[in-house]
Amino acid sequence: MQRYSIFSLIKNAFGGHKDWEVAWKDSEPKKEYDVVIIGAGGHGLATAYYLAKEHKITNIAVLEKGWLGGGNVGRNTTILRSNYMFDPNGLFYEHGMKMWENLSQELNYNVMYSPRGIINLAHSDAQLNVFYRRGNSMRLNGIDAVMLGRDELKKMIPFADFSESARFPIFGGLMQPRGGTARHDAVAWGYARQINSMGVDIIQHCEVTGFDVQNGKIQGVQTSKGNIKTKKVGLCVAGNTSLLAEKLNMKLPIESHVLQACVSEPVKPFLDHVVTFGAGHFYCSQSDKGEMVMGGDLDGYNSYAQRGNLPTLQHVLTEGVAMFPNLSRLKILRTWGGIMDMSMDGSPIIDKTHIDGVYLNCGWCYGGFKATPVSGWTFAHTIAKDEVHELSSKYRLNRFNTGHLIDEKGLGTKTWIG
């Protein structure tokens, strides 16, 4: 594989950029693989990467029914953070943050990790107290957390509504300085390029239509491009997990919901951080192109349509305007929707299943993108060793039977009720 560097850039500049290698190649399926990963999104590609790198398993196929990176890895709002209160979440996502810090070097692909800081605004004393508590919990887990007062915030986000007449006055905020953003498509392409160079097959437009299970063991998968034999299958199909699980006679504690996001027309630098509104569900950041990237609530009903509805978008943007009044002058350039696996406690599931050789990675709710490296890393361990990794050991499926839920926000699937 051709390494990307300043020297290769200069060399190719002289050649008119005609000699760049293809970053990754599309493959046709072979008859048999050691591991089949379903879903060439962030988590699927990352899983294949850590299987190849950490566990030296390279006879892998990554199957994708659409195109690489066309699902939620291409539809999110690119936010990275580990500002969680509960230990299982804090430790898991913080490991992920450490992986993000070196990911560009590791993949030799600029994922544009930008630790610009994520600020959660508080709009009451009570909310500020809750943030202090969360900030303290984060610090106990070694995660960076800083409380900000109104005056500091005025300097950092001067365009927020600090007026006396604001419906939700800003009392302060909790900031994770290392939180930030990364270029989502680069993450998918960076992983794809690496795994492809290690011999992993990426097979697009190949939909899994069924599973071949005999005596409780997986033997292979049936796909739109023929049958593929394998002893291990990993599911990384956020949004569609219930549909594939049904083919395996599994019912999951998951509902599929559509979550919308949008970007405004590009404007000059205006917002240096990721900011979340505390009196509703709205968050925004500014992309390097200058677009305001905004998101918020689910549409609020089960959906497999990768598009949403206007009332929710209107509701979310109303909150945005309450926070940054001058957003009202911007035009919306683009809106889109992605399908979330909303788990019943709001936390993901990484686990083995009742079928030998079938592994489950799902239930990421709103927060799958930031978990991409650590999810792939722990899931690869689960698949290679047939045992759950310690870091993800609290994300097991049986917690819905034992009652050990990780209900960080106490919301679950019906987040608009909370």
Partner 1 sequence: MLEIKCPHCGSRSQNEFSYGGDSSVKRPELGKEVPDKDWDDFIYFRNNPRGKHSELWHHVAGCRQWFKVLRDTSTHEIFKTAKLTEEL
Rounded-to-integer distance, Cα 138 and Cα 274, Å? 18
Residue type for position 338 = G
Q: Based on the shown chain and the rule CB under 8 A, indicate whether residue 254 belongs to the binding site for partner 1.
A: yes
- Of residues 21 through 80, those in contact with partner 1 by CB under 8 A are none
Among positions 252, 292, 293, 340, the unique one binding partner 1 when judged by CB under 8 A: 252
Q: Which helix H or strand E contains 20, and what residues bound it?
A: none
Among positions 310, 333, 334, 390, the unique one binding partner 1 when judged by CB under 8 A: 310
The stretch among 87-95, 252-260, 270-278, 321-329 that binds partner 1 (CB under 8 A) is: 252-260
Q: Based on the shown chain and the rule CB under 8 A, indicate whether residue 240 belongs to the binding site for partner 1.
A: yes
Among positions 256, 372, 382, 392, the unique one binding partner 1 when judged by CB under 8 A: 256
Rounded-to-integer distance, Cα 360 and Cα 88, Å? 18
Q: Based on the shown chain and the rule CB under 8 A, indicate whether residue 401 belongs to the binding site for partner 1.
A: yes
CA distances from 283 to 14, 45, 142, 271 (A): 43, 27, 25, 12
Select 217 or 307, whichever has its Cβ closest to partner 1: 307
The stretch among 94-102, 305-313, 318-326, 378-386 that binds partner 1 (CB under 8 A) is: 305-313
Q: Based on the shown chain and the rule CB under 8 A, indicate whether residue 410 belongs to the binding site for partner 1.
A: no
Q: Based on the shown chain and the rule CB under 8 A, indicate whether residue 251 belongs to the binding site for partner 1.
A: yes
For residue 302, the minimal CB distance to partner 1 (Å) is 5
x/- mask, partner 1, residues 114-153, rule CB under 8 A, reads ----------------------------------------
For residue 245, the minimal CB distance to partner 1 (Å) is 9
Is the distance from CB of 156 to CB of 273 less than 8 angstroms? yes
Q: Based on the shown chain and the rule CB under 8 A, indicate whether residue 9 belongs to the binding site for partner 1.
A: no
SS3 content of the chain, % helix, strand, coil (to 5): 30, 25, 40
Q: Based on the shown chain and the rule CB under 8 A, indicate whether residue 301 belongs to the binding site for partner 1.
A: yes
Size of the site for partner 1 (CB under 8 A): 24
For residue 303, the minimal CB distance to partner 1 (Å) is 5
Is the distance from CB of 326 to CB of 159 less than 8 angstroms? yes
Q: Based on the shown chain and the rule CB under 8 A, indicate whether residue 408 belongs to the binding site for partner 1.
A: no
| DSSP state letter for 300 | E
Give residue 355's region: left, alpha or beta (phi > 0; psi -120 to 50).
Answer: beta
Residues forming a β-bridge with 259: 298, 338
Residues forming a β-bridge with 212: 220
Nearest to 359 by CA among 396, 305, 407: 396
Select 95 or 396, whichever has its Cβ closest to partner 1: 396
- Of residues 343 through 382, those in contact with partner 1 by CB under 8 A are 344
Rounded-to-integer distance, Cα 160 and Cα 203, Å? 46
The stretch among 69-77, 181-189, 279-287, 298-306 that binds partner 1 (CB under 8 A) is: 298-306
Select 170 or 349, whichever has its Cβ closest to partner 1: 349
CA distances from 83 to 10, 134, 137, 271, 370 (A): 40, 8, 9, 20, 11
The stretch among 7-15, 121-129, 171-179, 253-261 that binds partner 1 (CB under 8 A) is: 253-261
Q: Based on the shown chain and the rule CB under 8 A, indicate whether residue 243 belongs to the binding site for partner 1.
A: yes
All residues at 6 or more sequence positions from 25 whose CB lies less than 8 Å from its CB, including other chains = 196, 202
Is the distance from CB of 344 to CB of 253 less than 8 angstroms? yes
Binding site for partner 1 (CB under 8 A): 240, 242-243, 251-256, 300-305, 309-311, 344, 400-401, 413-414, 416
